[in-house]
Amino acid sequence: MEQLLAGKVAIVTGGANGLGKAAVERFAAEGARVVIADMDCERGEALAAQLGGAARFLATNVAEADQVQALIDFAVSEFDGLDVMFNNAGVSQAIFPRFVDDDLSDFQKVINVNLLGVMLGTQRAARHMKDHGGGSIINAASIGGSQAGCGILTYRASKAAVIHFTKCTAIDLAEYGIRVNCISPGNIETEMSAFPGKGMSDEMIRKIHEVVRPLRLAAQPLKRWGKPLDIANAALYLASDMSAQITGQELVVDGGASTGDPINRFIEVAQARARIIQEISS
């Protein structure tokens, strides 16, 4: 069977871990040559070595314009082109303190990585793609970007901006044959979704996931826990020509979590109502 990304060259930022790593592996399995861009050199290099000739690693901070330009140049010189840019790298922030007590010390970092990083990756990739037949740009957003909620407010705001930026650049870059879409994951079990703090061990992260999983599933219509591969499959679709007519879209991959209250809550309310009516009328 024909591979979906045969002959294509892709960059995945934040590709050393989590959702980015799954996308790197999926893209390579579908015939792409992939540049892994990350600040985690140990894991990035190990992944590139595992994939052999299909992958390269470049230490990159996506919030630095010169490093992003060097990344694009590296992909073009190593693999002779660039067809897919997955701006996946992102950072979250501490859940506590609540907003009124937050000194906003992590504001700049979250915005620099999550928004400026996406803007730089898009701009520098587009400068190459516009003269080379177009391409596909995919940005990592989040359901937190469209779903309001308490906590991690800078993170939510950064992802809201990514969704809007995606739509605007889809229009701006369409004349060059460049498609721009974003993916909004819901709850996917990675290090980030355990909100790791300094000095947290793997065991702590695993235990946090164990406790948090049922809480999150209660608010999700599909009682299936999302996997990094779910996001990698969405990215593969947007990267490939299967989505040739799709641009400016937010592809939500969240088991229905952002769709609305799961039906079982409504049933609980209806059952409570029926109980009260029965008690009072008997």
Active site residues: 142, 155, 159
Q: Which is nearer to ligand NAD, 223 or 273 (CB)?
A: 223
Binding-residue total with ligand NAD (CB under 6 A): 29
Among 29, 31, 39, 130, binds ligand NAD (CB under 6 A): 39
CB 257 within 8 A of CB 143: yes
Q: Which is nearer to ligand NAD, 67 or 176 (CB)?
A: 67
State the nearest-atom distance from the C-beta of 88 to ligand NAD, in Å. Answer: 5
Among 5, 12, 17, 25, binds ligand NAD (CB under 6 A): 17
State the nearest-atom distance from the C-beta of 177 to ligand NAD, in Å. Answer: 26
Among 78, 102, 106, 191, binds ligand NAD (CB under 6 A): 191
Verify binding: residue 220, ligand NAD, rule CB under 6 A: no
Rounded to whole angstroms, how far apart are CA atoms 26 and 99?
Answer: 38
Among 4, 34, 154, 185, binds ligand NAD (CB under 6 A): 185
State the nearest-atom distance from the C-beta of 112 to ligand NAD, in Å. Answer: 7
Residue 126 to residues 23, 185, 255, Cα–Cα distance (Å): 20, 24, 32
Residues lying near ligand NAD in the complex (CB under 6 A) are found at 13-14, 16-20, 38-40, 60-63, 88-91, 113, 117, 140, 142, 185, 187-188, 190-193
